[in-house]
């Protein structure tokens, strides 16, 4: 049975990985959600894309990345590593992307009266017959399949430029790998027709999975609400008989508990923003919910050093000082000549290791990973 829903007119290519897995995500829930958009583009992602644009334009990486770090407030190490690989990739493969265009906005007609829109990071037409879209991904490779997004870009390009086939590439900057797919225009048309059919003839069932973490409709999604309800009930039951739960059941509950945590975080953000904007909110028993400032003093090392040196010897001062590795490596890299930054950082770490100044603390985090095969 098909569900009668509102007319969907436009779909963004960046949303295709979710829409292809869960056509229900394209439909209006008709409910108010706590937060409408989960903020898909991170600060590091924006900075990396800006630097990649420069790499394609100049065939080199900007010497100083600090303006990008400051502008986007991102981690300098991550940006450095990600864009180093972008430069390596571009140096090796730029011949495959003649006359590259960056940030190309495209729109195309889909079957069934729908429209597809997309912003291609890098685009080229090869030998007049082949579209070559490329997407830079600043983060680590995830289980969420981005093939659908690349199919979308290929469809957009083939329809717009009249090309016969497409070769689409995604570059995983953090993992320092890339992947390429090839499709003919006929294959892309068939895929688009099937996708539109699944969206327009949606059977009312939501498909829950890893992709939900990236779904902007997460808050307000009826399937997620159901999961939250049953998970909270399961957790309450667990509290009354903690020793009886099987390890397998605990592991099964974990993804659902992560969904509940995400919802709680969104609730806390919303509440904090509401109190910040409107002031304290009265609650029962003559109390109110308010933002209470707490002050933590910090000492500026550069200004305070001469004062501290009058009171403490180097040995006495050392236990009070914590050296931040990222800032330390950035400081030595900033002093190093161009092309030597990586080498200088590695040499310093080697020296510190040899001197016995480096210790490693192992932290274990809960993650769902593939089982090792025997
Ligand atoms: S959160 Fe998951 S199940 Fe819900 S609409 Fe999004 S993709 Fe579908």
- pLDDT tens for each residue of 84-130: 999 999 999 999 999 999 999 999 999 889 999 999 999 999 999 99
Q: Given this model, what pLDDT does residue 332 score?
A: 92
Cα-to-centroid distance, 143 and ligand 1 (Å): 15
Q: What is the CATH number of domain 10-200?
A: 3.90.320
**What is the tens place of the pLDDT at every residue in 61-70?**
998 888 998 8
Give CA–CA dist 136/273, Å, rounded. Answer: 33
Cα-to-centroid distance, 18 and ligand 1 (Å): 8
Q: Given this model, what pLDDT does residue 44 score?
A: 75
Cα-to-centroid distance, 230 and ligand 1 (Å): 17
pTM: 0.71
Q: Ligand 1 test: best mutation among 221, 255, 266, most atoms within 8 Å of CB?
A: 221
**What is the tens place of the pLDDT at every residue in 213-256?**
888 888 888 998 898 888 888 888 776 666 677 888 888 888 88
Question: What residue ranges line ligand 1, CB within 6 angstroms?
Answer: 18, 22, 24-25, 206-208, 211-212, 215, 217-218, 221, 223-224
Q: Whose CA is nearest to atom 3 of ligand 1?
A: 208
Q: Given this model, what pLDDT does residue 161 score?
A: 97
How confident is the prediction for the chain on average, in pLDDT?
87
Whether the pLDDT of residue 42 is over 80: the answer is no
Q: Whose CA is nearest to atom 2 of ligand 1?
A: 212
**What is the tens place of the pLDDT at every residue in 193-209?**
999 999 999 988 999 88
Cα-to-centroid distance, 22 and ligand 1 (Å): 6
**Residue ranges of domains in the chain:** 10-200, 218-279
Whether the pLDDT of residue 35 is over 70: the answer is no
Q: Whose CA is nearest to atom 5 of ligand 1?
A: 25
């Amino acid at each position: 049975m098909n569900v009668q829903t509102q007319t969907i007119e436009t779909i963004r290519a960046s949303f295709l990985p979710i829409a292809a897995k869960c056509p229900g995500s394209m439909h209006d829930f008709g409910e108010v959600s706590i937060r409408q958009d989960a903020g898909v583009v991170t600060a590091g992602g924006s900075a990396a894309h800006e630097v990649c644009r420069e790499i394609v334009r100049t065939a080199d990486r900007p010497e100083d990345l600090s303006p990008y770090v400051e502008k986007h407030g991102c981690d300098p190490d991550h940006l450095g590593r990600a864009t180093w690989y972008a430069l390596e990739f571009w140096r090796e493969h730029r011949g495959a992307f003649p006359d590259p265009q960056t940030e190309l906005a495209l729109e195309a007609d889909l079957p069934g009266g729908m429209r597809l829109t997309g912003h291609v990071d890098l685009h080229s037409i090869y030998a007049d017959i082949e579209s070559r879209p490329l997407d830079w991904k600043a983060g680590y490779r995830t289980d969420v399949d981005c093939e659908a997004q690349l199919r979308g870009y290929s469809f957009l390009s083939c329809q717009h430029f009249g090309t016969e086939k497409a070769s689409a590439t995604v570059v995983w900057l953090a993992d320092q790998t890339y992947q390429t797919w090839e499709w003919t225009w006929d294959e892309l048309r068939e895929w688009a027709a099937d996708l539109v059919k699944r969206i327009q003839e949606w059977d009312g069932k939501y498909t829950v999975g890893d992709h939900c973490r990236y779904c902007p409709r997460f808050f307000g999604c009826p399937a997620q609400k159901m999961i939250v309800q049953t998970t909270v009930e399961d957790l309450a039951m667990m509290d009354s008989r903690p020793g009886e739960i099987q390890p397998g059941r605990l592991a099964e509950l974990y993804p659902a508990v992560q969904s509940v945590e995400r919802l709680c975080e969104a609730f806390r953000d919303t509440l904090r923003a509401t109190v910040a904007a409107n002031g304290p909110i009265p609650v029962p028993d003559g109390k109110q919910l308010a933002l209470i400032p707490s002050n933590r003093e910090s000492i500026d090392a550069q200004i305070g050093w001469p004062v501290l040196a009058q009171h403490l010897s180097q040995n006495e001062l050392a236990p009070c000082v914590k050296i931040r590795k990222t800032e330390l490596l950035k400081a030595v890299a900033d002093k190093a000549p161009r092309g030597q930054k990586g080498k200088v950082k590695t040499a310093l770490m080697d020296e510190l290791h040899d001197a016995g100044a480096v210790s490693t603390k192992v932290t274990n985090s809960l993650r769902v990973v593939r089982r090792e095969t025997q």
